[in-house]
Structure 1
């Protein structure tokens, strides 16, 4: 089974290699992602996130799912000393950095519960996979038609934070200004919930985020800093790279 839909502002592609896997399970996956977009997008005036931000909802009126998302956001805010913060002064509440990975991982869990054993779910370049090996390409931070590395992924997730899609959209919560020091940072972790949040939080930290992410249990890191130097942890396995360890 192969399927692609545009959800939450980016393409989501699904490939399931299990024979006889029901189409209805894929329907459930994409329905879940559309529900997440409706409920937790800060860009929708009627979403739960927007209503909370306006003060139309009190803490006691939050759904268990949004409570979980905000708890994760607070955990990473504390862990980064405030560099990762979804509640910057003068800006709307924006938990998208956690919502994306969390919701896609929940979707992958739905696939597993429906009987999928070998699948790859790609949400705007962030991937959760099972039953590999799969080959996951990491885009070059400066050249749209090049990869900077390709990694094998069996069971787990990979997420990248960078400037190339949305410019300086990741802010350092300690200063309120765009994060500096890195061109891109990729994290491999057991779940996309963690991989996506760690990648964004580490990018917000700048260069110090490389060591911070590498110290997270179960995480491996591949980063390109602002001087175009490549840093990778010893457990980050690759099948090829197009960047050297020295400035380009």
Structure 2
């Protein structure tokens, strides 16, 4: 099979291995600085938004200290407030008097990075950070990316998604707080949301997990009706439920197309 050249780099950022896989045929003199800039951006996001770093802007905000008026910080806090309203408070970055945008920030950062790579000419790429994945372009000439949706508890692949342009976010690998009680949500296996914006998919997956199975199915059905975001649920006992559009990316038709 014909393959793309390109380059892949993996570094530890945000406490996890992050992979940037560029398949576009670009010369090394362009690829190397692109990858340097990609990881510099992700480290800046971590240093700015991590709630556990004392000198991050979020850390300073939570302690009532002076913060810098960074446009990205204002954008993220505003978007988190919007997402809280859209999800009826099930996505909530302000819990117990503290701000923690973790349910949105990783997806947002990867989405921004993906757009930057496209603008720089690296239109064929896959970015992976934990359970968040953003793909664009092709994995090989004429071939869609093939992405395994893994159960974050067992690492078992439950579905395979084929796409040229998609964000895939999975919630359930780390504790999710029920914003109504302030306690960790139990009773869900994992939730995967796919759609055009990884930041929104990340937040929707977090919200759906926090809701619990019954409310989450209704929420996912409403999202699916809008035609942009599709959802897969796997319960602790292994039962699955997915919205109809999810099969368009993972069924036989998707495999033949990709």
- Cross-structure match for 1:128: 134
Could you tell me which of 229, 234, 238 is aligned with 2:239? 229
**Are 2:87 and 1:80 aligned?**
yes
Residues 108, 128 of structure 1: 8 Å contact kept: yes
Encode CA deviations 1:48-85: one digit per residue, 9 max, x unaligned. 11111111137xx5322111111121112222222222
The 5 Å alignment of 1:136-155 reads: 136-144=147-155, 146-155=156-165
- Cross-structure match for 2:220: 213
* Greater fraction helix: 2
Query: What CA distance in whole angstroms lies between the structure 2 residues aligned with 1:141 and 1:11?
Result: 15
**Are 2:197 and 1:191 aligned?**
yes
Q: Which runs of 5+ in 2 are unaligned?
A: 1-6, 139-143, 253-258
Moved more, 176-185 or 188-197: 176-185
SS at match of 2:95: coil
Could you tell me which of 115, 118, 131 is aligned with 2:121? 115
Q: 1:98: Cα distance to partner?
A: 1.2
Residues 159, 195 of structure 1: 8 Å contact kept: yes
Encode CA deviations 1:188-235: one digit per residue, 9 max, x unaligned. 110111111111111111111233134233001111124432011111
**Are 2:47 and 1:62 aligned?**
no
Residues 199, 213 of structure 1: 8 Å contact kept: no
Could you tell me which of 171, 177, 198 is aligned with 1:171? 177
Could you tell me which of 24, 28, 42 is aligned with 2:37? 28
Query: What CA distance in whole angstroms lies between the structure 2 residues aligned with 1:193 and 1:36?
Result: 13
Query: What CA distance in whole angstroms lies between the structure 2 residues aligned with 1:72 and 1:225?
Result: 29
Aligned length: 232
Residues 213/57 of structure 1: CA separation in 2 closer, same or farther (3 Å cut)? farther
Q: TM-score, normalised by structure 1?
A: 0.87
Q: TM-score, normalised by structure 2?
A: 0.84
**Are 2:55 and 1:49 aligned?**
no
Which structure 1 residue ranges, 4+ long, deviate > 3 Å from structure 2? Answer: none
Residues 84, 201 of structure 1: 8 Å contact kept: yes
Query: What CA distance in whole angstroms lies between the structure 1 residues aligned with 2:61 and 2:20?
Result: 32
Query: What CA distance in whole angstroms lies between the structure 2 residues aligned with 1:235 and 1:113?
Result: 29
- Cross-structure match for 1:238: 250
Query: What CA distance in whole angstroms lies between the structure 1 residues aligned with 2:200 and 2:83?
Result: 10
Q: 1:87: Cα distance to partner?
A: 1.6
Residues 84, 173 of structure 1: 8 Å contact kept: yes
Q: 1:238: Cα distance to partner?
A: 1.5
**Are 2:162 and 1:156 aligned?**
no
